[in-house]
């Protein structure tokens, strides 16, 4: 097999194919599929991946491989085929996906890592587990232990120790002699899953993969999975490509979190990577979370997966008391509570929890102090005179400044009414914490957000103000959870506004002490709104089915496939002129985008998604072959459509 077929690490779409090179005699044994090489390409020495060896080539005259970077076969055949499938699905290039799938080489870590495979016997399947509280939960675990490939959408109950349930599923899969890949949104969740896996499996039976580990530690963990030393990998979105052998289960927790969406081309979503991998490998799949996305609901309605939920009696028993305040919530009479915008119900719930020496969680959907201000007289949004960006206040003593250009606006005058006063349009987490400190003067107030994210808080009286996604876990659960400024989430101009609001509220409410006699959740909203109804009944499946039905009627994702095309007007027009879309694909737009760019949306039935992706990738290849200077950003299943 003297011919090496190489994926050259060049991101140009028209070069998205394998190129043939000759293998020198001294590299014949070491230059194997999955190794990194360097080749001469267009007069330059570039990196590449040796994908396969062949006996002959259609090219009459071939150049030789310049160098073997490493004999380590870090790209397994299964991951290479998966990367090709993901590139095709997202209208991208194989080189871009491989850059996401395999971390950069760390030579010292590669030389220090032990080469031998682990000979440890797999642990026995867990017997007594928390899956008994769910319909079909024990059956799902039993099927994993028998080496089958069950596929489930799991809606976790309030107060659930979900990392322990994932660890039990991993142990059952290991008992069948198969490997596991579990993906979570962020490092805090990964730490919890890491601890649960250690408790369930023992030490050195799994590794974690995340960018925050650092180059050396991350590469050592990657090699441990690639060399077969461990069979369980947990990590953030890039871990979806972990090179485990004989994969038996893929898990994704909280698949609605936008951290699962890759911000680099070709912008794959971890859920789709894992589901594609499970489908191709015949592995089991678990899509899990407190809430449920419409994509997960579609898996159920098409029969691809089965629902794992608690029955109504168990759900009622474990759900804390959740109370809405209504359309016009009456503020508490206490002056401090009124200043903090706390309705009477929220004030009473917080005061009772603090009196019982329990922490109180307050979720605020905006960070900062006053991230948005308006005229105190006419309520017109306050804008910067230089760039028209929104003005904001960083503290109680700060001068208004623009959030876009940073220009100070100390002499701001409303252009509509001439008034100089400003009022809060949106109250941030820091301002809320300041107001709550006055409402509860003897209670410590802590904040958790972008500047400092808390992981855990003790089981003592305290007020914790957190932005969505930064809520710390309280020992024993929170005595009260207050969901403020709900309108800020519900009124966002976003297709997923209701779905995202429910996901964030359920995630916070699940941290309360479970059961009717436990914590109390107060949501400042009208209880007749459908998304609030789903929260009150703790029924994310009902809302997901309702949302999916509406999107089917409107032909919105995931019932249809949407692809976003963003670029200058001339560039996007050039791409659309070159592309040959299927006849039932529909082009919507243009609409203005950032920085003098335009955006079009290409809508097509789900059955034509592959044809649309292929056509767009081919058109992008034609443009790059012509060396067109202005690029077009192609995003399949973009999360921010509107």
Please state, in angstroms and rounded to a whole number, the distance separating the CA atoms of residues 371 and 259: 23
Residue identified by tokens 């397994």 is 76
Residue 546, pLDDT > 90, answer yes
Q: Kindly report the average pLDDT of the chain as a whole number.
A: 90
Q: What is the dihedral of CA 50, 54, 56, 59, to 10 degrees?
A: -30
Query: What pLDDT, on the 0 to 100 scale, is given for residue 458?
Result: 94
User: Among 117-121, 306-310, 363-367, 609-613, where is mean pLDDT lowest?
Assistant: 117-121
Residue 427, pLDDT > 60, answer no
Please state, in angstroms and rounded to a whole number, the distance separating the CA atoms of residues 448 and 20: 53
Nearest to 15 by CA among 613, 622, 507, 543: 622
Q: Using CB atoms within 10 A of its CB, is residue 360 exposed (0-12), middle (13-18) or buried (19+)?
A: buried
Residue 367, pLDDT > 60, answer no
Using H for helix, E for strand and C for coil, what is the string for 43-89? CEEEEEEEEEEECCCCCCCCCECCEEEECCCCCCHHHHHHHHHHHHH
| Between 517 and 432, residue with greater pLDDT | 517
Query: What pLDDT, on the 0 to 100 scale, is given for residue 368?
Result: 46
Please state, in angstroms and rounded to a whole number, the distance separating the CA atoms of residues 463 and 444: 6
| Between 351 and 404, residue with greater pLDDT | 351
Please state, in angstroms and rounded to a whole number, the distance separating the CA atoms of residues 295 and 189: 22
Structure-token pair, residue 275: 């589901």
Q: What percent of the chain has pLDDT over 70?
A: 92
Residue 539 CA: distances (Å) to CA of 61, 309, 316: 65, 10, 11
Please state, in angstroms and rounded to a whole number, the distance separating the CA atoms of residues 203 and 199: 8
Q: Are 427 and 485 in contact (CB under 8 A)?
A: yes
Residue 504, helix vs strand vs coil:
helix
User: Among 110-124, 411-425, 454-468, where is mean pLDDT lowest?
Assistant: 110-124
| Between 514 and 372, residue with greater pLDDT | 514
Residue 414, pLDDT > 60, answer yes
Query: What pLDDT, on the 0 to 100 scale, is given for residue 339?
Result: 56
Nearest to 146 by CA among 181, 189, 112, 178: 178
Query: What pLDDT, on the 0 to 100 scale, is given for residue 429?
Result: 61
Nearest to 5 by CA among 108, 94, 99, 111: 94
| 344, HSE (Cβ side, Cα atoms, 13 Å) | 5
Structure-token pair, residue 247: 């994969």
Task: Please name the residues in contact with 316: beta carbons below 8 A apart, sequence gap of 6 or more.
Answer: 516
DSSP letter for each residue of 557-620: TTTEEEEEEEE-HHHHHHHHHH----TT-EEEEEEE-SSS-EEEEEEEEGGGHHHHHHHHHHHH
Residue 253, pLDDT > 60, answer yes
Q: What is the mean pLDDT of residues 181-205?
A: 95
pLDDT band, residue 129 (cuts 50/70/90)? confident
CB atoms within 10 A of CB 124: 11
Please state, in angstroms and rounded to a whole number, the distance separating the CA atoms of residues 169 and 249: 8
Residue 317, pLDDT > 50, answer yes
Please state, in angstroms and rounded to a whole number, the distance separating the CA atoms of residues 483 and 502: 11
Query: What pLDDT, on the 0 to 100 scale, is given for residue 440?
Result: 83
Residue 179 CA: distances (Å) to CA of 24, 128, 244, 411: 36, 22, 6, 63
Residue 503, helix vs strand vs coil:
helix
Q: Give Dmax over CA atoms of the chain in angstroms.
A: 87
Query: What pLDDT, on the 0 to 100 scale, is given for residue 370?
Result: 45
Nearest to 501 by CA among 490, 491, 492, 487: 490
What is the enclosing helix (H) or strand (E) of 38?
strand 36-41
Residue 506, pLDDT > 90, answer yes
CB atoms within 10 A of CB 432: 26
Query: What pLDDT, on the 0 to 100 scale, is given for residue 274?
Result: 98
């Amino acid at each position: 097999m003297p011919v090496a077929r190489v994926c050259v690490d060049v991101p140009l779409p028209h070069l998205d194919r394998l190129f043939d090179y000759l293998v020198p005699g001294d590299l014949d044994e070491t230059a194997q599929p999955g190794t990194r090489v360097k080749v001469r390409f267009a007069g330059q020495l570039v990196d590449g991946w040796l994908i396969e060896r062949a006996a002959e080539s259609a090219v009459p005259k071939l150049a030789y491989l310049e160098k073997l970077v490493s004999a380590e076969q870090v790209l397994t055949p299964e991951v290479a085929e998966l990367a090709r499938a993901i590139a095709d699905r997202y209208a991208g290039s194989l080189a871009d996906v491989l850059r996401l799938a395999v971390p950069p080489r760390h030579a010292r870590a590669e030389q220090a890592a032990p080469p031998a495979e682990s000979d440890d016997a797999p642990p026995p399947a867990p017997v007594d587990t928390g899956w008994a509280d769910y319909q079909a939960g024990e059956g799902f675990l039993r099927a994993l232990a028998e080496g089958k490939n069950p596929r489930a959408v799991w809606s976790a109950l309030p107060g659930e120790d979900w990392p322990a349930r994932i660890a039990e599923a991993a142990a059952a899969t290991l008992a069948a002699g198969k490997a596991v890949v579990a993906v979570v949104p962020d490092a805090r969740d990964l730490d919890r899953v890491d601890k649960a896996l250690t408790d369930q499996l023992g030490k050195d039976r799994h590794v974690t993969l995340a960018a925050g580990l650092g180059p050396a530690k991350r590469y050592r963990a990657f090699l441990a999975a690639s060399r077969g030393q461990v069979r369980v990998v947990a990590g953030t979105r890039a871990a979806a490509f972990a090179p485990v052998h004989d994969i038996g289960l893929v898990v994704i927790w909280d698949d609605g979190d936008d951290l699962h969406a890759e911000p680099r081309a070709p912008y794959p979503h971890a859920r789709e990577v894992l589901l594609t991998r499970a489908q191709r490998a015949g592995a089991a799949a678990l899509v899990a979370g407190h809430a449920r996305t419409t994509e997960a609901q579609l898996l159920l309605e098409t029969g691809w997966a089965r629902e794992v939920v608690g029955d109504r009696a168990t759900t009622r028993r474990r759900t804390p008391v959740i109370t809405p305040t209504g359309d016009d919530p009456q503020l508490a009479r206490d002056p401090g509570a009124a200043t903090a915008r706390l309705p009477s119900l929220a004030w009473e719930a917080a005061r009772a929890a603090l009196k019982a020496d329990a922490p109180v969680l307050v979720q605020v959907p905006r960070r900062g102090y006053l991230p948005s201000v308006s005229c105190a007289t006419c309520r017109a949004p306050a804008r910067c005179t230089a760039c028209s960006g929104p003005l904001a206040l960083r503290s109680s003593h700060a001068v208004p400044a623009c959030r876009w250009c940073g220009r100070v606006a100390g002499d701001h005058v409303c252009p509509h009414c001439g008034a100089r006063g400003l009022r809060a349009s949106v109250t941030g987490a820091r301002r809320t914490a300041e107001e709550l400190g006055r409402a509860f003067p003897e209670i410590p107030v802590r904040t958790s957000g972008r500047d400092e994210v808390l992981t855990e808080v003790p089981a003592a009286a305290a007020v914790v103000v957190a932005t969505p996604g930064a809520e710390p876990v309280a020992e024993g659960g929170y005595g009260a959870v207050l969901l403020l400024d709900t309108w800020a989430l519900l009124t966002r101009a976003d297709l997923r506004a209701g779905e995202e609001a429910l996901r964030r509220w359920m995630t916070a409410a699940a941290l309360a002490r479970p059961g009717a006699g436990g914590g109390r959740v107060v949501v400042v909203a009208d209880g007749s709104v459908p998304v609030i109804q789903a929260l009150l009944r703790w029924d994310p499946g009902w809302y997901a089915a309702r949302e999916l039905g509406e999107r089917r009627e409107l032909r919105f994702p995931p019932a249809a496939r949407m692809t976003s095309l963003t670029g200058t007007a001339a560039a996007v027009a050039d791409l659309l002129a070159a592309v040959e879309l299927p006849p039932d694909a529909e082009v919507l737009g243009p609409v203005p985008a950032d920085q003098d760019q335009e955006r079009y949306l290409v809508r097509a039935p789900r059955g034509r998604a592959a044809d649309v992706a292929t056509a767009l990738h081919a058109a992008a290849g034609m443009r790059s072959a012509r060396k067109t200077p202005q690029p077009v950003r192609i995003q399949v299943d973009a999360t921010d459509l509107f």
